[in-house]
Amino acid sequence: MLRSLGTEKGILGQIFTKSQNKIQDPAKLLKVIDMIGKEQWTMVGADIKGDIYEGLLEKNAADTKSGAGQYFTPRALIKAMVACLDPQPMKSIHDPSCGTGGFFLAAYDHIIRNHDLDRDQKAFLKNKTFSGNEIVAGTRRLCLMNMFLHNIGEIDGNTFISPNDALIADEGFRVDYVLANPPFGKKSSMTITNEEGDQERQDLSYNRQDFWASTSNKQLNFLQHIRTLLKVNGE
């Protein structure tokens, strides 16, 4: 069943790509299936299902052994950043290092809470507002599931979370807002070559003529990438 789901189109197939059953004890697997099967999930609202999943993600991130904390920005910090930005309806929002999608959810809730949306605005918010990158396959899977359970996107629609490294190239699109908590670290896995051709020597070298500085510092490279992503009046 997992292999079959992984071949489906849209977000569903992306969620189940290369998924594996890691429960080796048949009795435990049966117990989990029975527990899930007893719930009337179709009767549970998207907000409740989304909150349950967010709670599981937060609990997993709090477990230092899992190492998931690096992909889970504290939700209080995210909400404060979104409140300062005050995103508006019918505007595009991007996160080049989206983790489990916390910025998307907070922006979604902020727009819903502060605006009386019409039909077109609701459709745009659901299917066209958000986009991002997440290179860690397992984290990207969690993000897609998180978005779907919060009623963002269609299960058979196109995925809006790219598995590509955001820093490799300028993909050409421009957005109204960028909300992100870029990865920290003095060194990146790549070297940036700027317009003048200057570069720092590392194992890999990527040509980004839209960058103004040559550096292997992750934060600065993400800052340069974010500047490229924004429209002229973007924030």
Summarised one tens digit per residue, pLDDT across range 7-58 is 888 888 888 888 888 888 999 999 988 988 887 776 666 667 777 777 777 7
Q: What is the mean pLDDT of residues 110-137?
A: 94
Q: Is 30 domain-assigned?
A: no
113 phi and psi, to 5 degrees? -75, -30
Domain that holds residue 73: 46-229
**Residue 219, both tokens:** 């934060």
Strand (E) positions, 56-118? Answer: 93-95
Residue with the larger pLDDT of the pair 146 and 84? 84
pLDDT at 65 over 60: no
pLDDT of residue 12: 87
Q: Is 119 domain-assigned?
A: yes
Q: What is the mean pLDDT of residues 156-173?
A: 88
DSSP letter (8 states) at residue 183: P
Q: Is 146 domain-assigned?
A: yes
Number of domains in the chain: 1
pLDDT at 203 over 80: no
Averaged pLDDT score across all residues of the chain: 83
Q: Is 161 domain-assigned?
A: yes
pLDDT of residue 198: 63
66: Cα separation from own chain's centroid = 19
pLDDT in tens, 69-81: 456 678 889 999 9
Q: Is 36 domain-assigned?
A: no
Q: How confident is the model at residue 136 (pLDDT cuts 50, 70, 90)?
A: confident
Strand partners, 206: 192
Q: Is 129 domain-assigned?
A: yes
3-state DSSP call for residue 136? Answer: coil
Q: What is the mean pLDDT of residues 87-106?
A: 93
Q: Is 16 domain-assigned?
A: no
Q: At what angle do helices 102-114 and 119-127 cross, to 10 degrees?
A: 170
pLDDT at 200 over 60: no
Give me the CATH number covering residue 203. 3.40.50.150
